[in-house]
Every structure is written in structure tokens, then in C-alpha cells.
Structure 1
Amino acid sequence: MITCVVDYTIDPSKIAAFEEFARRWIDLVNRHGGTHHGYFLPAEGASDKALALFSFPSLAAYETYRQLFGKDPEFIAADRIRDESACVIRYERTFMRPLLPPGSAD
């Protein structure tokens, strides 16, 4: 399993647009072979940070999903929310592998 952690710097005045963007991506990841663990939005403290975590069974499965970027109309529409609203200032993607407690499904 591989987990993608996306660290966002967002415009806090555009949180509603970011939430719409996030909901679209949760659905897209889940429908295209991944498991979305959710977006984590500001609650207290710094108000311009957000995280997303989602997993795929393998890097190859993630790469198959990534082939839809810029081609699939639903992926393009989801990115359009981000681009047109400017709710995301920047983001950074990191790939991690989980270390789970004994007996956990991985």
C-alpha cells in the first residue's frame, strides 16, 4: 500500500470552494481504485493549512489513476474548481507507506 499525503496552503477566505474541490476528489479517488482517508481542514491555530490523505494498493495502481488527469472530464472539472476559485495557493505531495499495528489490514 502507498499513501499520498497532500499538504495544502489554502486561502482561508475561500474555504467553501476548497471544500467543494475536496468533496469531488474524495469521490474520484474512491471510484478509481483508491481509498480516500479524508481532508483535514483548519480548526484552530494556523488557518491556511489543510491536508489530504489517500491510499492505493500500489504505486502502479496510483499511476493508473494519475493517467486520468487532464483527460477525464470529471478530473478536469474538479481541478477547474481549484483553478478558478484560487482556493489553493500551493500544495506538496509526499508518498508514504503505513506502519500499522499488528493484526491490522494493510
Structure 2
Amino acid sequence: MVTCFLRYVVDPYKLDDFETYGRMWIRLVKKFGGDHHGYFMPSEGTNNVALAMFTFPSFAEYERYREASMHDAECQEAWALAERTRCIVSWERSFFRPVFSANRA
């Protein structure tokens, strides 16, 4: 299992556009077999950082999703929205593996 953690620097004047973008990707990650844990929008404090996390059963499955998304019309539409609105200033992507309690089956 691998979880992708995304940290976005967003334009604080375009949060509605970014939220629309995020809602699109939640469904798209699920479409390709991932489990999306949501987008987390700025609230109190920093007004230009948003986060997202989603999980795939393996890094290989994540790579298949990345390849398939490059050719998917809905994914292209989501990327076009971000490009057109310029709601994303920059982003960082990291990968993590979960650790569960010893009692977890």
C-alpha cells in the first residue's frame, strides 16, 4: 500500500477554482482504483497551502493510474482547469507507507 501526499501552494484568490479541481480528482482517483482521502483547503492560518492524500494498493498500481490518466479525457479536463485558472502556484508530491497497530489484521 502506498499513499501519495500532495502539498499545494495555491492562489488564495482562486480557492473556488482549486476546490473544483480537487473535487474532480477525488472521483478520478477512485475511477482508476485508488482510495482518495480528500483535499484539505486553507482555513485558519496559512491561506495559500492545500493538501491532498490518496492511496493505491501498490506503487505499481499508482504508476498504472499515472500512465492511464495521461490519456483520459476527464483527467485532461481537470489539468486544463488548473492551467486555465492558474489556481495552483506549485506542488510537491511525496509517498508514504502506512504503519498500523500490531492488532490490525
Q: TM-score over 0.5 for the alignment?
A: yes
SS of match in other structure, 1:68:
helix
Matches within 5 A, 1:19-98: 19-98=19-98
Unmatched 5+ stretches in structure 2:
none
CA distance in 2, matches of 1:41, 1:13: 13
CA distance in 1, matches of 2:18, 2:102: 36
Q: Report Cα offsets for 1:37-93 as digits up to 9, x if no partner.
A: 000111100100000000000001001100123311111001111100000000000
Identity rate, percent: 44
Aligned residues: 105
Amino acid corresponding to residue 102 of structure 2 in structure 1: P
TM-score by length of 2: 0.95
Instruction: Detail structure 1 runs of 4+ shifted over 4 Å in the superposition.
Output: none
CA distance in 2, matches of 1:12, 1:104: 40
Which residue matches 1:3? Answer: 3
CA distance in 2, matches of 1:62, 1:90: 21
Unmatched 5+ stretches in structure 1:
none
Deviation at 1:104? 4.0
